[in-house]
């Protein structure tokens, strides 16, 4: 994920052709608000980029069109697969739409950014070795199967799932009703039609309801990277 630097995208496609490339939504919005400002425009844009499914994305884009046809046209010039969450590759298991991690990494490596390439890489390798060893020691003391940040997310999902009603549909599929909306969950494919589980790798509230119905451990249904 980048801020749209001109050399990044073609270089990435050449060196790592299998990688997907995203644009930071904050960077796009900063350019957008310079031309089309307003709180309603901000909310509409954030809704478009953070939507997990096409339906919610189209609704948000419609709201933006009502606010300003020029802003809608300006945003439509960007390929949606580089900034809209609902288009993210499900294999990646990352729902991030901002490049905060990249900014943190740049700050973490510090002044070595200005060194020659071999010296730069050697410094990064040493820093990573120390970081990984420290993280390994911390992980050895965890009581859960997942990282603390994911455990916190799961605790929130547990609270959100209380109003979900589950009906077994055969095999590994369930129908989950929340209010007046129904969702299809497949535990074998680790998938829900709300797409939150598919994109993030962390069970959504609908999946949690099914996992609890089956009396299984919620943490075992998180992607292995967590």
Q: Is residue 72 part of a domain?
A: yes
Q: Is residue 94 part of a domain?
A: no
Q: Are residues 63 and 130 in the same domain?
A: no
Q: Is residue 51 part of a domain?
A: yes
Q: Are residues 47 and 69 in the same domain?
A: yes
For residues 191 and 177, the answer to whether their CB atoms sit within 8 Å is: no
Q: Which domain holds residue 32?
A: 8-87
Question: Residue 6 above 80 pLDDT?
Answer: no
Q: Is residue 2 part of a domain?
A: no
Per-residue confidence (pLDDT) for residue 106, from 0 to 100? 87
Per-residue confidence (pLDDT) for residue 8, from 0 to 100? 80
Q: Is residue 226 part of a domain?
A: no
Nearest to 42 by CA among 24, 69, 60, 22: 60
For residues 18 and 115, the answer to whether their CB atoms sit within 8 Å is: no
Between vectors from CA 151 to CA 149 and to CA 157, what angle results, nearest 5°? 110
Using the 8-state DSSP alphabet, how is residue 23 labeled? Answer: B
For residues 210 and 174, the answer to whether their CB atoms sit within 8 Å is: yes
Tens of pLDDT, residue by residue over 78-100, are 899 889 999 999 998 989 898 88
Q: Are residues 16 and 77 in the same domain?
A: yes
Q: Are residues 12 and 83 in the same domain?
A: yes
Question: Residue 154 above 90 pLDDT?
Answer: yes
Q: Are residues 65 and 15 in the same domain?
A: yes
Q: Are residues 50 and 16 in the same domain?
A: yes
Q: Is residue 191 part of a domain?
A: yes
Tokens of 183: 């969702």
Q: Answer left, alpha or beta for residue 144, where phi above 0 means left and psi between -120 and 50 means alpha.
A: beta
d(CA 26, CA 34) in angstroms, rounded, equals 12
Q: How many C-beta neighbours within 10 Å does residue 134 have?
A: 10
Rounded mean pLDDT of 130-156?
A: 94
**CA distances to 15, 35, 76, 87, 133 from 68, in Å:** 39, 11, 12, 24, 52
Q: Are residues 27 and 78 in the same domain?
A: yes
Q: Is residue 93 part of a domain?
A: no
Band of pLDDT at residue 187, cut at 50, 70 and 90? very high
Tens of pLDDT, residue by residue over 16-45, are 988 888 889 888 998 888 888 889 999 999
Q: Taking each helix axis from N to C terminus, what angle separates 39-50 and 54-67, rounded to the nearest 10 degrees?
A: 160
Quote the number of domains for the chain.
3
Q: Are residues 30 and 71 in the same domain?
A: yes
Mean pLDDT of the chain: 92
Q: Are residues 55 and 109 in the same domain?
A: no
Q: Are residues 78 and 135 in the same domain?
A: no
């Amino acid at each position: 994920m980048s801020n749209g630097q001109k050399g990044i995208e073609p270089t990435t496609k050449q060196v790592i052709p299998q990688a997907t490339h995203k644009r930071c939504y904050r960077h796009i919005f900063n350019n957008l608000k310079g031309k089309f400002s307003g709180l309603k425009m901000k909310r509409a844009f954030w809704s478009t980029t953070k939507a997990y499914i096409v339906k919610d994305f189209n609704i948000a884009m419609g709201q933006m069109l009502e606010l300003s046809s020029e802003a809608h046209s300006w945003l439509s010039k960007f390929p949606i697969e580089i900034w809209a969450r609902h288009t993210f590759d499900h294999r990646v298991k990352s729902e991030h739409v901002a490049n905060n991690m990249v900014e943190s990494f740049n700050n973490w490596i510090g002044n070595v950014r200005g060194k020659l390439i071999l010296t730069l890489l050697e410094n990064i390798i040493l820093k990573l070795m120390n970081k990984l060893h420290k993280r390994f020691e911390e992980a050895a003391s965890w009581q859960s199967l997942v990282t603390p940040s994911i455990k916190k997310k799961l605790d929130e999902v547990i609270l959100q799932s209380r109003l979900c009603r589950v009906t077994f549909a055969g095999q590994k599929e369930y129908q989950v009703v929340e209010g007046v909306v129904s969702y299809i969950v497949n535990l074998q494919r680790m998938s829900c039609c709300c797409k939150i589980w598919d994109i993030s790798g962390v069970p959504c509230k609908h999946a949690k309801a099914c996992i609890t119905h089956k009396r299984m451990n919620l943490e075992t249904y998180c992607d292995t990277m967590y």
